[in-house]
Structure 1
Amino acid sequence: MTEALRTQDSGDTTDITHAVAMTLSPDLSGLDLAAVEAAVRRAAAEEIMPRFRQLAAEDIVEKNGPHDLVTVADRRAEEQLTAALTDLLPGSRVVGEEAVHADPTVLDALHGDAPVWIVDPVDGTRQFVHGDPGFATLVALAHRGELLASWTYAPALGLLAVARRGAGAQLNGVPLHTGSPEPGADLHVATSHYDFTDDDQKRVLAVLDTAGVAPRPCGSAGLEYLHIARGELDAIAFSWENAWDHAAGLLLVQEAGGASGTVAGQPFRIEGGNALPFTAARDAETARRILELLAAAN
């Protein structure tokens, strides 16, 4: 388990354009990352924020139950991002939450040879619907299972976090560092919300309600990862593996100095098929502690 924790290589400061070119193909070396950021901001400004606290009943639809919602903002923002991102990187594919809901075969792109944009247009739709500013637009760029760059944008909070493989993470232009929990202090851990877990998942996650650990239900997954990257939260423990919920945040935490891994002692795979639950944490020791607790309950 301990050997498989994924952490940042602090000695690798490779520029992302070079990393993309070396990992994917030379024609990607000119990818304009500033233009990606602009596309994310534009989708939020044009399709999400004008509808924040302005949704009509007909703008909200249940997908898989009363807690799993989609709005017109989710759909239109994903459509705009899909067009913009594929224009910026010809030949790339998009795996978006709403596209996958409409056609599960869209997920097959995660196993292909083309670079893939992984998009959650409104992560925290329930919060968005209820007028809570705790939602985010999540975008990550990956290829053959490797995360290369990510954007976590909370427009209602004025926060934009960017991570680049091997080049660190920033929030509003300021470098992010996870740090480590204070020795002897309770570990604060966000877990899969009980509204989205079955009885067995609840049983496993309940082991975190123990001495030295202070669990709570998660909000927006993307913002929980940001809390870890900022050193405001010690770890997460999640029991679902949707790539659009985790890709951006996993790279963000890794590049801020954190660690992640699954209960089987393997790195989390964005393509799916992970042993669950998994964790991301401020440092490797915290990740090990959370995984040891979870593994004992599995």
Structure 2
Amino acid sequence: MIDEFLAQGLPEVEEAVRKAAAVEIMPRFRQLAQHEVDEKNGPHDLVTVADRKAEEHLTAALSRLLPGSAVVGEEAVHADPEVYTALRGDAPVWIVDPVDGTRQFVQGDPHFCTLVALARHGEILASWTYAPALDLLATAVRGQGAYANGERIHSGSPDPGADLRVATAHPLYTSEEDRRFLSRLDVPGIAARPCGSAGLEYLRVARGEMDALAFTWPSAWDHAAGLLLVAEAGGAQSTVDRVPFRIDRDNALPFAVGRDEATTLRIRELLRGEDRGACGPTP
């Protein structure tokens, strides 16, 4: 059933993602009233009516497209953490972040996106990264490559001798221990900056516009779509335990994502405090 869906149903997912953005997100962009923005876990962790309505829209649409599937959405998990356990079940799972980059959305910055991924048994099978205000859609299907607005994309490798451009977990959302790990990237040859929308940072790596990412939180809705996109573009990823990050288990954090394997290993070993030079250690 899942193979048949992957062969035939993907255009309908794209249509659902675009419609959710058109109906629930874009009419509210730069139009939010004060009462339509709430805090979840603090002043920097925002949720808007667009997040909630878009997730409801996508949950209904995606469940119809693939009967028997589950949906793990950011807002549903916030309301009921037990929803997250569907990632470890047998049913196919839709992983949804209705507005990735809510802070940017609230500020009127167009660099936000909707993230959808389809997974089963922890394997990410397909993903959609849609930035409606930028008119940009990136897609990936396992084993079939990564695309942005219909054109094949490749992550490539960094320019020899150039500083590695790395986006890291934003300090607004990191603990003291997180910042201790990330401070290990403050070395010659690394040009680090705080990340914006995680989904769009993954896309920049997949297109070869950024060299690597270093994240300190595990939420599947932030990572699933981008991990497949980068992998299908030729990139790699690893946790500090030197094993891949998976959405269906607890992971050692932080983890590194790079446009090629050598870059990923370099960032991973810096995060571990064990880097032995620009060529990276033996994995």
In structure 1, C-alpha distance between the alignment counterparts of 2:90 and 2:247, rounded to whole Å: 14
In structure 1, C-alpha distance between the alignment counterparts of 2:111 and 2:6, rounded to whole Å: 34
Report if the CA contact (8 A) 1:93-1:114 is conserved: yes
Q: 1:256 to 1:227 in 2, by over 3 A?
A: same
Selected match of 1:200 from 164, 172, 177: 177
In structure 2, C-alpha distance between the alignment counterparts of 1:157 and 1:109, rounded to whole Å: 32
Cross-structure match for 1:72? 49
Q: CA deviation at 1:29?
A: 5.6
**What letter corresponds to residue 59 of structure 1 in structure 2?**
E
Q: CA deviation at 1:272?
A: 3.8
Q: CA deviation at 1:200?
A: 1.0
Cross-structure match for 1:271? 248
In structure 2, C-alpha distance between the alignment counterparts of 1:243 and 1:76, rounded to whole Å: 20
Identity in percent: 68
Cross-structure match for 2:149? 172
- TM-score of the superposed pair, with normalisation by structure 2: 0.95
**What letter corresponds to residue 34 of structure 1 in structure 2?**
P
Q: Which has the higher contact order (CA 8 A, sep 6+)?
A: 1
**What letter corresponds to residue 99 of structure 2 in structure 1?**
V
Q: CA deviation at 1:118?
A: 0.2
Report if the CA contact (8 A) 1:260-1:279 is conserved: yes
Match status 1:220 vs 2:167: no
Q: How many positions carry a matched residue from both structures?
A: 275
In structure 2, C-alpha distance between the alignment counterparts of 1:243 and 1:127, rounded to whole Å: 20
What SS does structure 2 have at the residue aligned with 1:44? helix
Match status 1:62 vs 2:39: yes
- TM-score of the superposed pair, with normalisation by structure 1: 0.90
Q: CA deviation at 1:271?
A: 1.9
Selected match of 2:221 from 241, 244, 251: 244
Report if the CA contact (8 A) 1:31-1:89 is conserved: no
Q: CA deviation at 1:296?
A: 1.3
In structure 2, C-alpha distance between the alignment counterparts of 1:203 and 1:180, rounded to whole Å: 28
In structure 2, C-alpha distance between the alignment counterparts of 1:138 and 1:78, rounded to whole Å: 10
List runs of 5+ in structure 2 lacking aligned partners. 275-283
Cross-structure match for 2:29? 52
Q: Deviation per CA, 1:33-72, whole angstroms, max 9, x where unpaired?
A: 0000000000000000000000000000000000000000
In structure 1, C-alpha distance between the alignment counterparts of 2:87 and 2:64, rounded to whole Å: 19
1:84-103 matches, cutoff 5 A? 84-103=61-80
1:1-298 matches, cutoff 5 A? 20-21=2-3, 28=5, 31-296=8-273
In structure 1, C-alpha distance between the alignment counterparts of 2:177 and 2:215, rounded to whole Å: 13
List runs of 5+ in structure 1 lacking aligned partners. 1-16, 22-26
For the aligned residues, what is the CA RMSD? 1.3
